[in-house]
Structure 1
Amino acid sequence: MSRPSSAGLLLVAVVEFADGHAETGRRYEDAVLALLGRHGGTLERRTRGTDGMTEVHLIRFAARAGLESFMVDPERLAHREAIGEAAPTTRVIEVLDVSG
């Protein structure tokens, strides 16, 4: 059995688009995921539910401070404010990599 990796911070983000705003939500995600690199983050995988209303992202940050700075990034916050009620809701789960 593999041991969990301790390299950085690994997250799963479950993103649900607002009803009637899936395309706006996808554009928002495109924009904010592009900001990860400036905070030591990488998008390892991006998947979309077959209904088109949910995405699941596997994101790694070099350190927890990267996540913290990403969350308060002025450009990310401006994107979120610009779409208002069309903003997706996101549940973030910290996970351990146990694959071989």
Structure 2
Amino acid sequence: MLTLVAIVEYADGAETAGQRYEDTVLALLDRHGGRLERRLRGTDGRSEVHVITFVARTGYESFLVDPERAALRADLGDAAPTTRVIEVDEV
């Protein structure tokens, strides 16, 4: 099991487009053995935190190169959110 925390920051003025992008790509997790455990939005509406699990690291790797995900990101261009991903363990 692989557990990740993703910190997502939306581009200035592109919060709505960024949220739609996240809605769509998070729905792709299942096809890669992933699951969204928690999705939290910052009170300012400009950022989100996701807790995501994958059955195996290979699922995460395949999610990263998913052609549908890549196409959606390319369509957003400069409006695409930036994401920092941290691998975590329970303590």
Q: Could you tell me how far 1:97 is from its partner in structure 2?
A: 1.9
Which residue of the other structure, out of 38, 41, 45, is the alignment partner of 2:38? 45
Structure with max Cα Rg: 1
Q: Which runs of 5+ in 1 are unaligned?
A: 1-7
- 1:3 maps to which residue? none
For the pair 1:66 / 2:50, whether they are aligned, the reply is: no
May I ask how many residue pairs the two structures share in their alignment? 91
- 1:29 maps to which residue? 22
Task: Give the root-mean-square deviation of aligned CA atoms.
Answer: 0.4
- 2:11 maps to which residue? 18
Q: Could you tell me how far 1:86 is from its partner in structure 2?
A: 0.4
- 1:55 maps to which residue? 48
CA distance in 1, matches of 2:22, 2:51: 13
Runs of 4+ residues over 2 Å off in structure 1: none
CA displacement, residues 33-75 of structure 1 (integer Å, 9 cap, x when unaligned):
0000000000000000000000000000000000000000000
TM-score (norm: length of structure 1): 0.90
TM-score (norm: length of structure 2): 0.99
CA displacement, residues 13-52 of structure 1 (integer Å, 9 cap, x when unaligned):
0000000000000000000000000000000000000000
Give the % identical residues.
Answer: 68
Q: Which runs of 5+ in 2 are unaligned?
A: none
